[in-house]
Structure 1
Amino acid sequence: MEPERIPQEIAAWFSGRGWRVRRHQEEMLAASDAGRHALLVADTGAGKTLAGFLPTLADFAPSRLESRAPPEGLHTLYVSPLKALAHDVQRNLLTPVEEMGLPIRIETRSGDTPSDRKKRQRERPPHILLTTPESLSLLLSYPESFELFRGLKRIVIDEVHAFATGKRGDLLALALSRLQAIAPDMRRAALSATVASPESFREWLAPWGDIDAVELVEGEQGAPAEVEILLPDEERVPWGGHAATWAIPQLYDQIRKNRTTLIFTNTRFLAEYIFQNLWDVNEDNLPIGVHHGSLSKEARRKVEGAMARGELRALVATASLDLGVDWGDIDLVVQMGAPKGSSRLLQRIGRANHRLDQPSRAMLVPGNRFEFLEATAAKDAVDQGQRDGEDFRPGGLDVLAQHVMACACAGPFQEEELLAEVRASLAYSWVDKEVWGRVLEFVATGGYALRAYDKFKRIVRDGKGVWRLSHPEQAARHRLNAGIIIDSEMLDVRINAGRGRGGRSLGKVEERFAASLSPGDTFAFAGMSLEVIKVQDMEVVVKAAKASAMIPSYGGQRMPLTTHLADRVRFMLVDRAGWGRFPDDVREWLEVQDWRSQMPGPGQLLVESFPHAKRFYSVYYTFEGWNANQSLGMLITRRMEDRGLMPGGFVANDYSLAVWGLKPVKDPAPLLSPDILQDEFVEWVQNSHLLRRAFREVAVIGGLVERQHPGKRKTGKQVTFSTDLIYDVLRKYEPDHVLLEAAWADARTRMTDVGRLGDLLDRAAEQLVHVELDRVSPLAVPVMVMIGREATPQGSVDDELLLEAESLAGAAMRVDEVDVILD
């Protein structure tokens, strides 16, 4: 690049700090100067954010302006997946702007921004506005938005991998199309350290999916990360458990050795649990903090401030700190339990040092033997620079309905013009006139079954085909309720008080778990076996079960195991030559499994059947993640019941599913036939709470049910009551309603992982391997030890689990004299 392309003020600032302008930063500026959109994929610490803003800073540099006045009005939008990230970027951007003496005003806008400042921003906007997808959508709902964004030059989307493939990405894609229509010369830039498929993200970023319009800029390679896997002092990797509390003494020793250690867990409960365990051994009284999404905003801000000032020696956190927060003094990142994906691990490792020329140090702490394999697979992927991620899917109709309403709030629109604008985004390029008509009809009347009710009439069309709000107050109602993030509810578990009414509360379970339950199901909770009577009005009404629980109760949101990492673990299991690098006990575990049974190779579905404790077990080695395995367990037990196989229950982890009953399964193939997705799957979803839960979310996002009225917010129970009533009406009178279609799409993909389930059934039809054994196999021990211990470890449960694991492992690993003779 020509040296004169970098304005002298910017070049001098870099030089004054002893830095150089990196190649990818120059290329981002060149792409902007050429009028092109750009996707930057660069390692953490490579100066991605500054690269994204460099064209904006250049536009305000006096040497470029010469005698011209600096740009007026809103020049650049910065969109972040997290409000905290926008505030962090503001801090880091203000420094170079002030030191370069650039005439740039920078402000943030989120749900926390005071209303008077929001109003002032619409009337006198800053040059750079840092915001989130939801706040941007709300800005677009104001009539002033046309004037506000008319001169917009650039939009910078940070950490694009974190939300582009989900509903927040759908909302942002629609906002991008609207902005492009208002400001045709606007240029888009997206930034990420962990994009697995740059071509897919280029297509998502481009108007009309024109991938050639988007420049791919790849960052300079940084120092390779230094990743190690922590093993117990006696080098015996645990059989079961996932909290990895065995590592607490060693972990505390690492905290003492380093200036600052950032410890990641996969659930909020585990963050609290690990924090408490560390505090119990904190004999030096070191400052240790905890950070997760359930904490108050004030508590999180306090911890973030302490970290920024270097006052904490360790911080235990969840995904709440995965993204982009720039704390340069972190010496070590620790991942407690399985990483679940190489991109997620890379993102977390990048929080250490945050400098391109120095290696980030990370330590993986597996909770059990399968997690050791997963940690090894993730380490290999990181060492090889391979990333993974979620696939793009068609945009949600509920999000489209919300966007239509936002556009109507901004002003009247022509049906055909808005459709063309919507179709310019890749997420909604599939929408045809028939689908578009159904969405407009829903926003206008609520749909055929609800059109008699005035409350659902939000927009009307005049004789010239122009749509506008049915009443001005609809705009205020929309802005009060718009958004994509729906808080997860907890449901009360109550003993039946008669006539199906809930009585005494036994506690609460996550709605995600409750949504999978149907009347008659039994599950373990509060030390009891309970039978479900019904799930409604934010309550699970139960009675004492006559038999042991069939379905385990789970705690905490679970991160999905990526397909990429699952495939790597599968390959490791059959790569016998590679076992030599494993600890002796892990290698012996695999060798005995290989000798006594078989390894689940790539492309295969291995099913092992064996008797144990007067029951008959079948273990399915799926490697499709907990969500798909949980769904499969529900379906298989129903099919077993229909066939008189007397199922007793099931338990699942990311790698396998164990199902048991009173009769042996001689042939698992009929239990796995593909028609299970047309028959049992449909029946299960419709009769469980899954579809109702999905409908509640899409009804809120689509604007059919309002969470807030002026000065009052509905409780979760009130929202559920409203959506359940509407759901029953639509199921009966309008089963093809656009929101029921959207709910089905959510229930199939997000809640049941039906895509991976379908892949699994295809594999079963082609390469099912069934091995019948006389006792539990070594590979089955990690899932078998979960039976009766599914909840997150508390108190002495860890010790009980270890004892149970050793007992099972003893049977699995025992080599009898008769085995040797037969061999």
Structure 2
Amino acid sequence: MTLSPIIRDWFTARGWSPRRHQLDMLEAAAQNRHALLVAATGAGKTLAGFLPTLNALVTDPAEGLHTLYISPLKALAVDVRRNLLMPIEEMGLPIRVETRTGDTPSDRKQRQRVKPPHILLTTPESLSLLLSHEDSVFLFSTLQRVIIDEVHAFANGKRGDLLSLSLARLQTLAPQMERVALSATVADPDDYRAWLAPDGDIDLVQLVTGEAAAEPDLQILLPEGRVPWAGHSGQHAIPQLIEEIGRNNITLIFCNTRFLAEYIFQKLWDANDPKYAIGIHHGSLSIEARRKVEGAMAEGRLRALVCTASLDLGVDWGDVDCVIQMGAPKGSSRLLQRIGRSNHRMDEPSKAILVPGNRFEYLEAQAAYDAVHEGVRDGETFQPGSYDVLAQHVMGIACAGPFDEAELLTEVQSALPYSALDAGTFHRVIEFVATGGYALKAYDKFRKLVLRPDGKWHLAHPKFAAQHRFNAGIIVDSPMLDVRFRNGRKLGKVEEGFAATLTPGNRFTFAGMALEVESIKDLDLIVRASTKPANTIPSYMGARMPLTTHLADRVRQMLTDRAGWARFPDDVREWLEMQDYRSQMPEAGQLLVETFPHDKRHYMVAYPFEGWNAHQSLGMLLTRRMESRGLMPMGFVASDYALGVWSLKPIIDPTPLFSADILADEFIEWVEGSYLLKRAFREVAVISGLVERQHPGKRKTGKQVTFSTDLIYDVLRKYEPDHLLLEAAWADARARLTDVGRLGNLLDRAADTMLHVDLERVSPLAVPLLVMIGRESVAQGSVDDELLLEAESLAGVAMTP
């Protein structure tokens, strides 16, 4: 395939020439091959993905959908449309480009199915809904290419399961379709080639790599005082951030949570004497607020923007010349992705600054710094496809028309996550969709499919199609309330649990404003602007970003690389040296466990470095085991790096507490008796379509959804314990919510490598964890001030809270 003269002239007019990987993508399309492009941020990945499309449509702009672009984020789809329209308009091409997401007006969605654009930009969820319509056969019959952007962001999760099933369906409707995926941060390209390929055959997918990008300009910002013992906000750096904003045209300030984004935004405004224009952007703000900020950024009207993962991926604002990461990056790939938002051009170095919140986070920041400069990425694990997602997909296929079970199984098996699915299990999924399962099939509301004499499965009633489309989706947020002014203007959403703590007159900060509660009506939180300061910020129950195994291993290595301590700040180096003197450092593969008494209490601190999820789970299990052995545990606290437990009786030998059989005994008992399994069941029940989130014109409250799922959960546990959804909930509770794989590895390691050090008092390495007690403990009990004073005395400096 040769590049059209019109496109070549456009490159020339801009003083450009096509990059090698862009021409390689053109060649792959000429050979009708699927392709995975791995290229640095700013290398023109998106243009490379669309180049074969534009080249084909220049010569033959026939009506019908030619290319489908799939983005993990709505904002990215909008941004790509804006960037794609520029060359199309400059070349004068009659190519129509439109977006279709949850924010698209319903009349435009209706028109798109009748008269589709040449290029449609959408998300995995919106694509799944499109496939649920009877006219999907017509809509996708002309499809030539599908482009999946930022594929690393969702391929190995439930959204990836849904997209892989949708790709299999698209390939059936359009056998000529080419699959293309784009990414800058793939650790193992073959894993993604297999995921992208029909039937997992990586030989069908050509790997295209881009040229190396300029080395990033990455710094770790040290406080003007000492590196704090604890805390994650990095608020000590606010004056330095204001100075940094003044040095740059536009600065992006990334925070790992929405709570932290609101907090840092408020702190920046409090210190913003130069009156810089600073905005905020996160997923709980209204679409109007997000679009307003995005427009202001695109037009260069903001000096800084505080944001979350809502802007992690691909959004191209060329004037951003500095990225700041507040707190620990949690992974080298995520950090590299965020760094790439700065100087979004391959031949210019991206400038980024890390702001660690505490001493352990400093080590993590240094580990990420080293990994980025070495070009090392975090590996990712692909899991078998989940049953709840498959159930949702089966229902969507049924909404589009009758289906043959054997034919659909073959199609589903061509998606890598479901390649090992057997006919018996698939039939269980279909029976669940059809009847709800043995214990529920007597209820008409669960009878959605019927097997007709023609041997095909049909919808039992058309109403179930509308019900499916209202409730389909993979992302299950905690129940939310809309935050509105009395005039109806919507600011965004807060979680129902947070709203339940508010009464009229309470004040809180949201969307960068101080708000006062007027009333709560149904699913609306009515507010007004407050002239008085607010002392509360909404918190959200979204999953914590996990510390990757790769970065955890690097931090472990730093602890014993004594020669490398010389490059650390004095207080961090002295902290490690004092630990080495008063206790020990865990060697590679060792599990260090320290015990020490204080004021009639006994403390045990372990340093697994397996991430907060695994440590939180282990803390719950250890306290249960300690209780059964009469040790009288009082509570525990966990971080990404360590776990601390305190009790009334001493722990003489911790080895038996960490034995691997804890996963076979206490783990099962704990999960079945805790909220964990019920929460996992609520999510799979919603995703699978068993429980509705909303009806046309009516949305259920979180309490209503929870009541429905809890009731069904109890019925199934009693009458059908082998129900498909209970199996799916267990898989979620184990693999996703408790990080049981890392927990199992930790316990296996503990059996042979535990290093137990019995101390007279707290160790330096334990201080950052003990400072958290009373703030983040999930069990009763707290460390008193005297112990913290002892820790402070040990370190020889005043602790920063």
- Structure 2 matches for 1:430-449, cutoff 5 A? 430-449=420-439
The offset of 1:580, in angstroms, is 1.2
For residue 587 of structure 1, the aligned residue among 573, 594, 598 is 573
The offset of 1:464, in angstroms, is 3.9
The offset of 1:259, in angstroms, is 1.3
Classify the secondary structure of the residue corresponding to 1:448: coil
CA displacement, residues 708-746 of structure 1 (integer Å, 9 cap, x when unaligned) = 212211111111111111111100000111011111111
CA displacement, residues 266-287 of structure 1 (integer Å, 9 cap, x when unaligned) = 1111111111111111111111
Partners in 2 of 1:90 and 1:268 — Cα distance? Answer: 26
Residue aligning to 2:536: none
The offset of 1:315, in angstroms, is 1.1
For residue 673 of structure 2, the aligned residue among 687, 697, 718 is 687
Partners in 1 of 2:605 and 2:582 — Cα distance? Answer: 15
The one-letter code of the counterpart of 2:47 is L
The one-letter code of the counterpart of 2:57 is F
After TM superposition, the structure 1 stretch with the greater mean CA deviation from structure 2, 382-391 or 48-57, is 382-391
Matched, 1:59 2:49: no
For residue 476 of structure 1, the aligned residue among 446, 466, 477 is 466
Partners in 2 of 1:341 and 1:681 — Cα distance? Answer: 28
CA contact (8 A) 2:392 2:689 kept: yes
Partners in 1 of 2:193 and 2:401 — Cα distance? Answer: 31
Partners in 2 of 1:662 and 1:813 — Cα distance? Answer: 28
The offset of 1:557, in angstroms, is 4.5
Residue aligning to 1:541: none
The offset of 1:78, in angstroms, is 0.2
Residue aligning to 1:598: 584
Partners in 2 of 1:711 and 1:224 — Cα distance? Answer: 53
CA contact (8 A) 1:401 1:702 kept: yes
Residue aligning to 1:810: 793
CA contact (8 A) 2:478 2:702 kept: no
CA contact (8 A) 2:45 2:182 kept: yes
Matched, 1:328 2:318: yes
CA contact (8 A) 1:267 1:557 kept: no
For residue 648 of structure 2, the aligned residue among 656, 659, 662 is 662
Partners in 2 of 1:168 and 1:343 — Cα distance? Answer: 19
Output the aligned Cα RMSD: 2.1
The one-letter code of the counterpart of 2:460 is S
Partners in 2 of 1:465 and 1:683 — Cα distance? Answer: 44
> Do the aligned partners of residues 813 and 755 (structure 1) sit closer, same or farther apart at CA in structure 2, a change above 3 Å counting?
farther
Residue aligning to 2:630: 644
Residue aligning to 2:563: 577
The offset of 1:390, in angstroms, is 3.2
Residue aligning to 1:172: 163
Partners in 1 of 2:675 and 2:203 — Cα distance? Answer: 45
Residue aligning to 1:40: 37
For residue 607 of structure 1, the aligned residue among 593, 596, 613 is 593
CA contact (8 A) 2:259 2:540 kept: no
CA contact (8 A) 1:650 1:660 kept: yes
Classify the secondary structure of the residue corresponding to 2:349: coil
- Structure 2 matches for 1:501-512, cutoff 5 A? none
Partners in 2 of 1:680 and 1:510 — Cα distance? Answer: 32
Residue aligning to 1:495: none
The offset of 1:457, in angstroms, is 0.7
Partners in 2 of 1:779 and 1:113 — Cα distance? Answer: 52
Partners in 2 of 1:561 and 1:9 — Cα distance? Answer: 48
Residue aligning to 2:25: 28
The offset of 1:118, in angstroms, is 1.4
Residue aligning to 2:182: 191
After TM superposition, the structure 1 stretch with the greater mean CA deviation from structure 2, 417-426 or 581-590, is 581-590
The one-letter code of the counterpart of 1:248 is I
Partners in 2 of 1:376 and 1:556 — Cα distance? Answer: 26
Matched, 1:144 2:135: yes
Matched, 1:741 2:723: no
The one-letter code of the counterpart of 2:793 is G
> Do the aligned partners of residues 335 and 801 (structure 1) sit closer, same or farther apart at CA in structure 2, a change above 3 Å counting?
farther
Partners in 2 of 1:776 and 1:395 — Cα distance? Answer: 46
The one-letter code of the counterpart of 1:264 is F
CA displacement, residues 345-386 of structure 1 (integer Å, 9 cap, x when unaligned) = 011111111010100101111111100100000000111111
CA displacement, residues 627-678 of structure 1 (integer Å, 9 cap, x when unaligned) = 1111110000000000000101000100000001011111111111111111
Classify the secondary structure of the residue corresponding to 1:619: strand
Residue aligning to 2:614: 628
TM-score by length of 1: 0.88
- Structure 2 matches for 1:4-153, cutoff 5 A? 5-61=2-58, 65=59, 69-153=60-144
- Structure 2 matches for 1:332-411, cutoff 5 A? 332-411=322-401
Partners in 2 of 1:353 and 1:801 — Cα distance? Answer: 48
CA displacement, residues 568-601 of structure 1 (integer Å, 9 cap, x when unaligned) = 1111111111111111221111112122221122
Matched, 1:230 2:221: yes
> Do the aligned partners of residues 509 and 458 (structure 1) sit closer, same or farther apart at CA in structure 2, a change above 3 Å counting?
closer
CA contact (8 A) 2:450 2:457 kept: yes
For residue 271 of structure 1, the aligned residue among 261, 265, 268 is 261
- Structure 2 matches for 1:174-323, cutoff 5 A? 174-234=165-225, 236-323=226-313
After TM superposition, the structure 1 stretch with the greater mean CA deviation from structure 2, 479-488 or 417-426, is 479-488
Residue aligning to 1:549: none
The offset of 1:484, in angstroms, is 0.9
Classify the secondary structure of the residue corresponding to 1:156: strand
Unaligned runs of 5+ in 1: 492-506, 512-537, 539-552, 793-799, 815-823
- Structure 2 matches for 1:710-789, cutoff 5 A? 710-789=696-775
> Do the aligned partners of residues 643 and 804 (structure 1) sit closer, same or farther apart at CA in structure 2, a change above 3 Å counting?
closer
> Do the aligned partners of residues 340 and 71 (structure 1) sit closer, same or farther apart at CA in structure 2, a change above 3 Å counting?
same
Partners in 1 of 2:368 and 2:274 — Cα distance? Answer: 33
> Do the aligned partners of residues 603 and 557 (structure 1) sit closer, same or farther apart at CA in structure 2, a change above 3 Å counting?
same
CA contact (8 A) 1:40 1:190 kept: yes
Classify the secondary structure of the residue corresponding to 2:263: helix
> Do the aligned partners of residues 695 and 410 (structure 1) sit closer, same or farther apart at CA in structure 2, a change above 3 Å counting?
same
The one-letter code of the counterpart of 1:623 is F
CA displacement, residues 287-331 of structure 1 (integer Å, 9 cap, x when unaligned) = 111111222221111111111111111111111111111111111
Residue aligning to 1:516: none
CA contact (8 A) 1:268 1:556 kept: no
The one-letter code of the counterpart of 2:718 is K
For residue 671 of structure 1, the aligned residue among 657, 660, 666 is 657
Classify the secondary structure of the residue corresponding to 1:237: coil
CA contact (8 A) 1:338 1:374 kept: yes
- Structure 2 matches for 1:490-505, cutoff 5 A? none
Classify the secondary structure of the residue corresponding to 2:306: strand
CA contact (8 A) 1:240 1:801 kept: no
CA contact (8 A) 1:622 1:760 kept: yes
Partners in 2 of 1:724 and 1:216 — Cα distance? Answer: 47
TM-score by length of 2: 0.90
CA contact (8 A) 1:649 1:661 kept: yes
Partners in 1 of 2:351 and 2:597 — Cα distance? Answer: 45
The one-letter code of the counterpart of 1:54 is L
CA contact (8 A) 1:668 1:770 kept: yes
Classify the secondary structure of the residue corresponding to 2:439: helix
- Structure 2 matches for 1:440-589, cutoff 5 A? 440-489=430-479, 557-589=543-575
Partners in 1 of 2:45 and 2:220 — Cα distance? Answer: 29
The one-letter code of the counterpart of 2:251 is T
CA contact (8 A) 1:605 1:620 kept: yes
CA displacement, residues 384-406 of structure 1 (integer Å, 9 cap, x when unaligned) = 11111531101110010011011
CA contact (8 A) 1:204 1:426 kept: yes
Q: Percent sequence identity over matched residues?
A: 70
